[in-house]
């Protein structure tokens, strides 16, 4: 089920009820800590920024329907509307008709491009770079430097576990790659990294450039096929492997996949890991859409796909999804001294950082607006640290904090969120695990 | 036949000069994003331009332009009535998205709130919860949180207290209306400069009814003063089963008809049949045999009573009285109406307002339609019997919902037509079904209250020619060029039907 045509009957379930515009659309009585954060709240970064119905998922579902019915022409204008969405999946959480909202949006983008419309300029650049055999990454960095950050032995044939580093870890946030490798070592995991690893394809899949995506997917699947387990530090790569590769390859993955935070969680649950060092800070946690919401939703839908009685099994499926949402919380609670203060919009109803789905590169203003909104929410908890585990969230929040500080300086007015310290959980875990 | 003009670049420029560039669009994808075919209306035409006015003055100026250029205008608040809130006939003209007008003020002393068209139920609920917890806004009971209070009042919908207070339109204390000519006025005591909206019948004959139920085809409402209701926090829901429709309708009549006491506490009386549970799930992934539902404790027919009280003792008293009525009825009618033991989670989910309970009927296949009728309460079993039989004949599951209005004076009877919107010819089939049932029901004196412009409106008005004549006269006075929402009320008649016009012989 990858083409928009495949999704026709799912899209046809949309009654345009607009519930998907709100976080907690099903919990109008939800009690928050403050007047502002109570009940249902607007939750779509694109809709909030642009205001028009077409930027909300509810509107996009009907644009997709118009496309399927041949009522709308392929155009840049169309692509611009449907690409301005972080594919965060907040909308998907809300839909009582279980519409795969993000799959529809991504398939619509692909359909428009496949009908001959050029990808949007910034998206085309990253697509071309990933397509380039000398690069195979969106950052225009030489392919042969991909593992330059790593001082261990690469390409080991005898290891059963591989760490899929991803382009951001390899070229931009190498400290995260180093922290992850260090965590894996401390946990006693015998792993390797692969020099021939290529971009997972996430940014080009999200932006509708599917031919190029298939190329890198095939290369990665071939390269890693003999491993038992792939470990990730990037939420986007993890989601792409876990949820998208099986869909697009038509086959189950030949290896298991786990995000490093999940590995830590597994060991804590099994009683094999105890964190003794303290992290004495007031922390709030931001759920990365890819590794938390999207994986949770996939777990729920995988259970339903096997069920011939949704009335009964939907509860079980929802429970499994909720258990997935607990993973980072279990890890955070296992850190001594860490004082967790949750934001209002969390888990399936979390508000996106604003960077995903190709938005940060093509629509930077929208990305920044979303980051600022989330930082304000984070600040409302009284936390000093905003913790998460995703390279894009970290980058976008860091940009958001910087912008708020500049605004603060320019206006002399206090901007909630400007004082937050943005921290990657993997870094903290590396510092704490002995 | 009225001829409408298309929206030209010149018109767009004028609209931009009124609302600002940011709030006017002719973007093809954005126009398509407002479309919907389902819920209340299946037929919808693509608008040519979307405008998002900020206030009443902008609304008025837009209407003046539309009049000047003979361009049709369709207002929409939350847009949750699907095709019902979209242009019905070509050309699509101007679509007025009123969501930017979303101010809400509350006057607890006079027990009234003033809402603009964009105030959503979910937002109002949050604001009341935080600021006025002792009061409740009469939001539509089962509509999703993005439905607006004003949109529901315009449709004379079904609120969370309709069982006691009557249809949503009965909660209106005053309106601010912009006529298609651009004139602005207020109704009720509110019409008097500086007066509060405390008396709905106001300064003289009250024209509110012309604007409530005409779905925006007489004028555009920019503000409404609406009653708020006391919100006691001792609440519960009890449910009783039955062997047939009579078993749920008659005891409810016994409980409600006294109007005082227990009847006042049962703010919401609503029920249905077992397919209401089944068709919220995919047809291919849920048991379709009643036996399964029976084992879950679901009655074939049931009625829910939502009770609000000031204390637990009062709550218990009401429950006891309802139970006594059922015991009496069982004996009287020689039937069984077992009480449905609701799990606390089921009670909580039924008490949740607004909610998403009615959204998943699309899962059954891929699409659904609510068809809403009013009947005298005790005639509703006959209607539901006939409706369910027809639904099955046409191959639709017989999903039926019913609720009391104003202490079981009237019933709102609502079949939920679950269908596959991707099936070729399905819309013709639904129209045929609608036509056949409508003809039969109209003969019995039952009314459709959210009329489909192509079926219910012409079928109804052709049986009420004198009323239709009066309606056309009013419409022509208020909207001489018939620019508002053309087709919605079958005015002009030829725009929607080939049936002979009730105006024939009137020189039309
Ligand atoms: C799943 C579901 C469940 C529902 N359950 C209920 C329920 O329990 N009770 C109930 O009553 N309703 C129910 N509805 C219907 C829904 O509540 C109403 O359609 C909704 O309240 C109308 O509000 P709206 O803002 O969506 O109006 P819209 O759909 O925007 O408008 C309603 C009508 O009024 C016209 N209109 C809009 N704004 C103006 C204006 N300012 N001036 C003049 N005319 C205007 C529109 O053209 C349209 O014809 C349900 C709908 C759905 C989808
Ligand atoms: S996607 Fe789902 S929640 Fe959103 S408008 Fe459509 S049916 Fe409603
Ligand atoms: S995926 Fe996120 S940004 Fe995109 S429409 Fe849904 S809620 Fe909005």
Look up the domain containing A59 and give its range: 1-118
Q: How many domains is chain B partitioned into structurally?
A: 4
CA distance A322 to A227: 29
What pLDDT was estimated at residue B506?
78
B466 exposure class (CB count in 10 Å sphere: 0-12, 13-18, 19+): exposed
CATH number of the domain that A323 lies in?
Answer: 1.20.1050
Q: Do B378 and B240 share a structural domain?
A: yes
Any bridge partners for residue B457, and if so which? Answer: none
What is the DSSP code string of A243-300? IIHHHHHSS--SSEEEEHHHHHHHHHHTT-----S---SEEEE---IIIIIIHHHHHH
**B132 contacts in chain A (CB < 8 Å):** none
Predicted confidence at residue B213, as pLDDT, reads 87
Half-sphere exposure of A287 toward its Cβ, with a 13 Å CA cutoff? Answer: 27
Say whether both A161 and A216 belong to one domain: yes
Nearest CA in chain A to B34: A59
Domain range for B503: 451-508
Residue A390 pLDDT exceeds 90 = yes
In this complex, is the C-beta atom of B368 within 8 Å of any C-beta atom belonging to chain A? yes
Write down which residue in A256, A273, A290 finishes a domain.
A273
Residue to substitute in A14, A58, A88, A358 for testing ligand 3 pocket (most ligand atoms within 8 angstroms of CB): A88
Q: Is B473 exposed, middle or buried (0-12, 13-18, 19+ CB in 10 A)?
A: exposed
State which of B81, B100, B119 marks the end of a domain: B100
B28 touches chain A (CB under 8 A): yes
Domain-terminating residue out of A118, A134, A158: A118
CB pairs under 8 A between A and B: 173
What is the distance between the alpha carbons of residues B125 and B135, in angstroms, rounded to a whole number? 10
**Which SS3 state, helix, strand or coil, does residue A348 take?**
helix
In a domain, B437, yes or no: no
- Please identify, among B100, B130, B153, the residue that sits at the C-terminal boundary of a domain: B100
Chain B interface disruption, residue of A4, A8, A13, most B CBs within 10 A = A13
Gap between the Cα atoms of B233 and B274, Å rounded: 30
- Asked if the model's pLDDT at residue A95 lies above 70, the reply is yes
Cβ–Cβ gap A65/B125 under 8 Å: no
Q: What is the pLDDT of residues A266-283, one digit of tens each?
A: 999 999 999 999 999 999
Strand B229-230 relative to strand B220-227, pairing:
unpaired
CA end-to-end distance (rounded Å), chain A: 45
- Verify whether ligand 1 is closer than 6 Å to residue B221 (CB atom): yes
The pLDDT of residue B1 is above 70:
no
B342 belongs to a structural domain:
yes
Nearest CB to B129; choose among A10, A29, A71? A29
Taking CB atoms and an 8 Å cutoff, what residues of chain A touch B125? 28-29, 39-40
Q: Do B286 and A96 touch (CB under 8 A)?
A: no
| CA–CA separation, B359 and A276 (whole Å) | 49
**What percent of chain A lies above the pLDDT cut of 70?**
100
**Assigned domain for B446 exists:** no
Does the interface predicted TM-score (ipTM) exceed 0.95? yes
Same domain, B277 and B238: yes
Give the position, in ligand 3's atom list, of the atom nearest the Cα of A359: 3
Helices and strands in chain A: count of H runs, count of E runs: 20, 10
- Cα gap B251→B333, rounded to integer Å: 10
User: At which of A69, A94, A118 does a domain end?
Assistant: A118
Q: pLDDT, tens digit, for every residue of B163-215?
A: 999 999 999 999 999 999 999 999 999 999 999 999 999 898 999 999 998 88
Kindly state whether residues B315 and B375 are assigned to the same domain. Answer: yes
For residue B224, the CA-to-ligand 1 centroid distance in Å is: 15
Domain total of chain A: 3
Asked if A13 and B362 come within 8 Å (Cβ–Cβ), the reply is yes
**Placement of tokens 């709905």 in the chain:** B200
Asked if residue B154 has its Cβ within 6 Å of ligand 1, the reply is yes
What band does B319 get if pLDDT is binned at 50, 70 and 90? very high
- How far apart, in whole angstroms, are the C-alpha atoms of residue B5 and residue B94? 11
Distance CA B201, CA B167 (A): 17
pLDDT confidence tier of residue A2, bands split at 50, 70 and 90: confident
The answer to the question of residue B439 being in a domain is no
**A86 and A47 co-located in one domain:** yes
Please, what is the average pLDDT of chain A? 97
The single-letter DSSP state of residue A341 is -
DSSP H or E segment with residue B184: strand B184-186
Angle at which helix A57-68 crosses helix A101-114, to 10 degrees, equals 50
Residue A22 · residue B123 · CB < 8 Å: no
Regarding whether A192 and A103 lie in a shared domain, the answer is no
- What's the pLDDT tens digit per position in B95-133? 999 999 999 999 999 999 999 999 999 999 999 999 999
**Where a domain ends, among B230, B257, B288?**
B230
Q: In this structure, are residues A126 and B386 in contact, taking their beta carbons and an 8 Å threshold?
A: no
Cα separation, B185 vs B225, whole angstroms: 13
| Average pLDDT of the residues in A233-262 | 98
Distance in Å, CA B146 to ligand 1 centroid: 10
Q: Are β-strands B24-25 and A421-424 bridged in parallel, bridged antiparallel, or unpaired?
A: unpaired
Pair A434, A300 in one domain: yes
A423, β-bridge pairs: A387
Same-domain pairing of B410 and B299: yes
H helix or E strand, kind and range, residue B461: helix B456-462
Q: What is the C-alpha separation between B452 and A13, in angstroms, rounded?
A: 21
Q: Please indicate whether, in this complex, the C-beta atoms of A16 and B30 are within 8 angstroms of each other.
A: no
Is residue B395 located within the same domain as residue B261?
Answer: yes
Residue B160 lies in a domain: yes
Query: What does the pLDDT look like over B35-72, one tens digit per residue?
Result: 999 888 888 999 999 999 999 999 999 999 999 999 99
Q: Residue B336 falls within a domain, yes or no?
A: yes
Provide the token pair at B366.
Answer: 């891929």
Please check whether residues A279 and A362 belong to one and the same domain: yes
Q: What is the distance between the alpha carbons of residues B157 and B171, in angstroms, rounded to a whole number?
A: 11
Chain A contact for B503 (CB, 8 A cutoff): no
Q: Are residues A382 and A363 in the same domain?
A: yes
A53 with B129: Cβ contact below 8 A: no
Q: Which residues of A94-116 are buried (b: 16+ CB within 10 A; e: fewer)?
A: bbbbbbbbbbbbbbbbbbbbbee
- Give the per-residue pLDDT at B508: 55
Is A19 in CB contact (< 8 Å) with chain B? yes
**Statement: residue A142 has pLDDT above 90:** yes
The pLDDT value recorded for residue B507 is 62
Asked if residue B10 lies in contact with residue B49, where contact means CB atoms within 8 angstroms, the answer is: no
> What separation in Å is there between the alpha carbon of B19 and the centre of ligand 1?
24
In whole angstroms, what is the distance from residue B154 CA to residue A282 CA?
Answer: 50
Four-residue CA torsion sign, A151, A155, A160, A165: positive
Give the pLDDT mean for A54-73: 98
Whether residues B388 and B457 share a domain: the answer is: no
Residues B345 and B416 in one domain: yes
Tell me whether A60 touches chain B (CB under 8 Å).
yes
- Cβ pair A54:B27 closer than 8 A: yes
Range B240-268 average pLDDT: 96
Atom number of ligand 2 nearest to Cα B144:
8
- Token output for B349: 């989910």
A143 plus A251 within the same structural domain: yes
Mutate to test the pocket of ligand 1, among B101, B147, B364, B403 (most ligand atoms within 8 A of CB): B147
At residue B43, the pLDDT reads: 87
The predicted model gives B15-19 an average pLDDT of 98
B83 versus A351: the higher-pLDDT residue is A351
Which residues partner with B412 through β-bridges? B374, B403
φ, ψ (nearest 5 deg) of residue B115: -120, 145
CA distance B144 to A17: 7
Q: Does B346 touch chain A (CB under 8 A)?
A: no
Residues A310 and A427 in one domain: yes
Give whole-number Cα distances, A425 to A179, A199, A261, A386, in Å: 10, 23, 8, 10
For testing contact with chain A, the best of B40, B78, B126, B368 (most A CBs within 10 A): B126
Give, for A186, the enclosing helix (H) or strand (E): helix A174-186
Share of chain A above pLDDT 90, in %: 98
Q: pLDDT band at residue A313, thresholds of 50, 70 and 90?
A: very high
Residues A403 and A290 in one domain: yes
CATH number, domain of B44, equals 3.30.43.10
- What is the residue with the minimal CA distance to atom 6 of ligand 3? A91
Separation between Cα atoms, residue B366 and residue B363, nearest integer Å: 6
| Contact (Cβ atoms closer than 8 angstroms) between residue A196 and residue A134 | no
| Exposure b/e, B139-160, CB count within 10 A at least 16 = b | bbbbbbbbbbbbbbbbbbbbbb
State whether B122 and A12 contact (CB < 8 Å). no
Range name among A32-41, A154-163, B314-323, B409-418 with the lowest pLDDT average: A32-41
Average pLDDT over residues A353-381: 98
Mean pLDDT of A84-107: 98
* Same domain membership, residue B67 and residue B88: yes
Mark whether A363 and A376 lie in a shared domain. yes
- DSSP per-residue codes, B375-439: EEGGGHHHHHHHHHHHHHHTT----EEEEEETTTTEEEEEEEEE-BTTSTTHHHHHHHHHHHHHH
How does DSSP assign B25-83, residue by residue?
Answer: E--HHHHHTT---BBTB------SEEE---SHHHHHHHHHHHHHHT--EEEESS-TTBG
Q: Is the pTM of this model over 0.95?
A: yes
**Chain length of chain B:** 508
Q: Are residues A315 and A410 in the same domain?
A: yes
Residues B89 and B177 grouped into a single domain: no
- B265 and B329: one domain? yes
Q: Which residue of A has its CA nearest to B125?
A: A28
CB-based contacts of B160, cutoff 8 Å, min separation 6: B136, B138, B139, B140, B141, B267, B268, B353
Kindly state whether A14 is in contact with chain B, defined as any CB-CB distance less than 8 angstroms.
yes
| Same domain assignment for residues B407 and B497 | no
Q: Test B29 with A304 for CB contact under 8 angstroms.
A: no
With CA atoms as reference, report the closest residue to B94 among B69, B120, B57: B69
Residue whose pair of structure tokens reads 């939420």 in the numeric block: A235
Do A91 and A143 belong to one domain?
no
Please report, rounded to a whole number, the percentage of residues in chain B having pLDDT higher than 70. Answer: 99
Here the CATH number for the domain that contains residue B196 is: 3.30.465.10
Residue B300 maps to a domain: yes
B412: domain CATH number is 3.40.462.10
Same structural domain, B325 and B307: yes
């Amino acid at each position: 089920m990858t083409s928009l045509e495949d999704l026709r009957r799912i899209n046809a379930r949309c009654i345009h009820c607009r519930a998907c515009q709100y976080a907690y659309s099903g919990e109008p009585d939800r009690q928050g800590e403050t007047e502002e954060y109570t009940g249902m709240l607007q939750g779509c970064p694109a809709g909030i920024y642009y205001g028009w119905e077409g930027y909300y998922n509810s509107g996009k579902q009907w644009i997709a329907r118009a496309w399927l019915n041949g009522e709308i022409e392929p155009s840049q204008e169309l692509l611009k509307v449907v690409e301005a969405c972080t594919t965060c999946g907040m909308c998907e959480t809300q839909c009582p008709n279980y519409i795969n909202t993000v799959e529809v949006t991504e398939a619509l983008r692909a359909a428009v491009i496949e009908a001959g419309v050029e990808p949007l300029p910034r998206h085309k650049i990253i697509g071309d770079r990933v397509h380039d055999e000398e690069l195979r990454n969106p950052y225009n960095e030489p392919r042969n430097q991909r593992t330059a950050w790593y001082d261990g032995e690469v390409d080991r044939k005898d290891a059963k576990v591989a760490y899929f580093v991803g382009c951001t870890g390899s070229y931009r946030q190498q400290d995260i790659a180093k922290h992850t490798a260090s965590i894996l070592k401390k946990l006693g995991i015998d792993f390797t990294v692969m020099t021939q690893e290529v971009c997972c394809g996430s940014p080009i899949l999200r932006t509708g450039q599917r031919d190029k995506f298939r190329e890198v997917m095939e290369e990665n699947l071939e390269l890693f096929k003999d491993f038992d387990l792939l470990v990730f530090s990037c939420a986007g790569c993890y989601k792409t492997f876990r949820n998208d590769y099986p869909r697009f390859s038509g086959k189950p993955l030949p290896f298991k996949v786990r995000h490093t935070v999940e590995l830590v969680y597994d060991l804590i649950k099994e009683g094999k890991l105890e964190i003794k060092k303290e992290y004495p800070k007031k922390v709030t946690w931001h759920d990365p859409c890819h590794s938390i919401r999207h994986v949770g939703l996939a777990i729920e839908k995988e259970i339903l796909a096997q069920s011939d009685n949704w009335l009964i099994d939907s509860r079980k499926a929802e429970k499994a999804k909720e258990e997935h949402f607990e993973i980072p919380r279990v890890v955070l609670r296992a850190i001594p001294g860490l004082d967790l203060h949750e934001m209002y919009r969390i888990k399936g109803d979390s508000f996106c950082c604003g960077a995903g789905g190709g938005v940060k590169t093509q629509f930077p203003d929208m990305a920044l607006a979303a980051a600022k909104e989330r930082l304000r929410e984070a600040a409302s908890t009284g936390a000093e640290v905003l913790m998460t585990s995703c390279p894009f969230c970290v980058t976008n929040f860091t940009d958001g904090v910087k912008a708020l500080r500049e605004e603060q300086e320019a206006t002399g007015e206090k901007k909630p969120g400007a004082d937050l310290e943005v921290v990657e959980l993997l870094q903290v875990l590396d510092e704490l695990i002995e | 036949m009225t001829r409408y003009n298309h929206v030209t670049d010149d018109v767009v420029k004028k609209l931009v000069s009124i609302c600002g560039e940011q709030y006017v669009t002719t973007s093809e994808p954005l126009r398509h994003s407002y479309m919907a075919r389902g819920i209340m209306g299946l037929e919808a035409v693509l608008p040519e331009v979307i405008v998002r006015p900020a206030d009443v003055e902008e609304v008025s100026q837009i209407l003046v332009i539309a009049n000047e250029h003979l361009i049709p205008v369709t207002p929409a608040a939350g847009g949750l009535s699907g095709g019902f809130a979209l242009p019905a006939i070509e050309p699509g003209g101007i679509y007025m998205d009123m969501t930017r007008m979303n101010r809400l003020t509350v006057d607890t002393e006079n027990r009234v709130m003033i809402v603009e068209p964009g105030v959503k139920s979910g937002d109002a609920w949050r604001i009341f919860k935080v600021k006025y917890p002792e009061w409740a806004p009469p939001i539509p009971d089962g509509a999703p949180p993005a439905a607006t209070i004003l949109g529901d009042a315009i449709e004379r919908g079904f609120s969370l207290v309709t069982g006691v207070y009557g249809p949503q339109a009965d909660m209106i204390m005053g309106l601010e209306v912009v006529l298609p000519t651009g004139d602005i006025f207020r109704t009720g005591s509110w019409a008097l400069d500086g007066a509060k909206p405390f008396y709905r019948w106001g300064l003289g004959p009250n024209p509110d009814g012309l604007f409530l139920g005409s779905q925006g085809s007489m004028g555009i409402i920019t503000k409404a003063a609406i009653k708020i209701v006391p919100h006691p926090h001792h609440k519960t829901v009890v449910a009783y089963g039955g062997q047939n429709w009579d078993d749920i309708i008659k005891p409810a009549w016994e409980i409600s008809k006294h109007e005082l006491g227990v009847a006042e506490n049962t703010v919401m009386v609503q029920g249905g049949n077992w397919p209401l549970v089944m068709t919220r799930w995919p047809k291919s992934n849920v048991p379709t045999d009643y036996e399964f539902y029976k084992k879950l404790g679901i009655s074939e027919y049931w009625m829910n009573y939502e009770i609000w009280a000031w204390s637990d003792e009062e709550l218990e008293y009401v429950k006891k009285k309802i139970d006594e009525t059922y015991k009496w009825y069982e004996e009287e009618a020689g039937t069984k109406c077992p009480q449905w033991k609701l799990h606390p989670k089921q009670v909580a989910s039924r008490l949740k307002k607004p909610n998403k309970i009615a959204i998943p009927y699309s899962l059954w296949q891929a699409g659904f339609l609510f068809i809403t009728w009013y009947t005298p309460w005790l005639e509703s079993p006959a209607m539901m019997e006939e409706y369910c039989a027809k639904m099955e004949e046409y191959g639709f599951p017989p999903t039926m919902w019913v609720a009391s209005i104003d202490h079981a004076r009237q019933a709102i009877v609502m079949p939920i037509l679950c269908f596959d919107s991707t099936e070729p010819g399905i819309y013709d089939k639904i129209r045929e079904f609608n036509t056949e049932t409508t003809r039969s029901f109209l003969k019995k004196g039952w009314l459709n209250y959210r009329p489909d412009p192509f079926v219910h409106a012409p079928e109804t008005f052709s049986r009420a020619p004198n009323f239709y004549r009066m309606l056309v006269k009013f419409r022509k006075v208020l909207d001489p060029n018939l620019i508002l929402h053309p087709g919605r009320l079958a005015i002009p008649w030829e725009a929607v039907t080939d049936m002979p016009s009730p105006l024939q012989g009137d020189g039309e």
